[in-house]
């Protein structure tokens, strides 16, 4: 998690009392991670040099580098008006770190399910929401699963009341994929169960 969040931190340079290679002051983040020892040696910039060595009259002046990646990294530098160097959390408009913005930029996003608003809401009891959510995830502890676990001998279809589950169309067709037009799982479409 920390490595994912580090790329959203950048220094606003004030006095420049930060390391050129070891601090996230450029667009590329920490330059030491982007350039190997040989590449750093060819720039002529020592490993322990401070950024203040390149600040003249509140402007950054770098030597001309042959490396286009390094030139790009140096072009997007944030210069503060004065004072100390300040860490900026780039996802926040004011540069402040908040848990909300950290969560938003580091979480894994999945496509929104069309049935989510139907399942989770004020209009339905939480217990029913949970069972419906399990159904949408194909995770209901149905009798055919319990029979597979050898905890039950005979399975009856609880959805369509057709007697033995082996005669239900759900069991004979449950290897097929669900219809693209319906948000219901395949077994709710195949069984004679009708949602309200």
Contact 95, 8 (CB under 8 A): no
Same domain, 11 and 87: yes
Work out how many domains the chain is built from and give that number. 2
User: Which residue, of 106, 134, 167, is where some domain finishes?
Assistant: 106
Two tokens, residue 7: 């790329």
Same domain, 21 and 94: yes
Same domain, 42 and 77: yes
The DSSP call for residue 98 is -
Q: What is the DSSP string of 46-66?
A: -TT-BGGGGEETTEE--PPPS
Say if residue 129's pLDDT is above 60.
yes
In 3D space, the residue among 5, 10, 20, 30 whose CA is nearest the CA of residue 80 turns out to be 10
pLDDT band at 71 (very low <50, low <70, confident <90, very high): confident
Same domain, 7 and 81: yes
Give percent of the chain above pLDDT 90.
Answer: 0
Same domain, 98 and 144: no
User: Which residue, of 53, 71, 106, is where some domain finishes?
Assistant: 106
H helical segments located in the chain: 2-6, 31-34, 37-43, 68-75, 99-106, 116-119, 126-136, 143-148, 169-173, 186-190
Same domain, 126 and 186: yes
Q: What is the pTM of this model?
A: 0.48
pLDDT band at 172 (very low <50, low <70, confident <90, very high): very low
Same domain, 86 and 120: no
Same domain, 76 and 125: no
Would residue 195 count as lying in a domain? no
Same domain, 159 and 99: no
Burial class (CB in 10 A: 0-12, 13-18, 19+), 129: middle
What is the average pLDDT across 36-41? 82
Residue 89: which domain range? 2-106
| 77-104 pLDDT tens trace | 656 666 788 888 888 888 888 889 888 8
Same domain, 99 and 126: no
Does 33 or 156 have the greater pLDDT score? 33
> What span, in angstroms and rounded, lies between the C-alpha atoms of 32 and 9?
15
Same domain, 92 and 120: no
User: Which residue, of 106, 128, 143, is where some domain finishes?
Assistant: 106
Same domain, 45 and 95: yes
């Amino acid at each position: 998690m920390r490595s994912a969040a580090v790329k959203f931190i950048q220094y606003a340079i004030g006095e420049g009392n930060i390391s050129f290679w070891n601090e996230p002051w450029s667009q590329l983040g920490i330059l030491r991670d982007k350039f190997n020892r040989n590449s750093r040696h060819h720039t002529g910039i020592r490993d322990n040099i401070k950024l203040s060595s390149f600040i003249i009259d509140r402007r950054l002046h770098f030597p001309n580098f042959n490396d286009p990646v390094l030139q790009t990294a140096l072009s997007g530098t944030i210069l503060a008006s004065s004072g100390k160097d300040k860490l900026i959390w780039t996802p926040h408009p004011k540069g402040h770190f908040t848990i909300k913005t950290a969560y938003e930029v580091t979480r894994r996003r999945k496509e929104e399910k069309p049935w989510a608003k139907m399942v989770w809401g004020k209009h339905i009891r939480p217990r029913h929401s949970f069972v419906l959510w399990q159904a949408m995830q194909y995770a209901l502890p149905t009798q055919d699963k319990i029979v597979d676990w050898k905890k039950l001998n005979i399975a009856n279809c609880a959805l369509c009341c057709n007697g033995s589950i082996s005669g239900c169309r759900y069991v004979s067709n449950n290897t097929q994929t669900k219809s693209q037009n319906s948000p219901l799982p395949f077994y709710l479409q195949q069984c004679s169960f009708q949602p309200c």
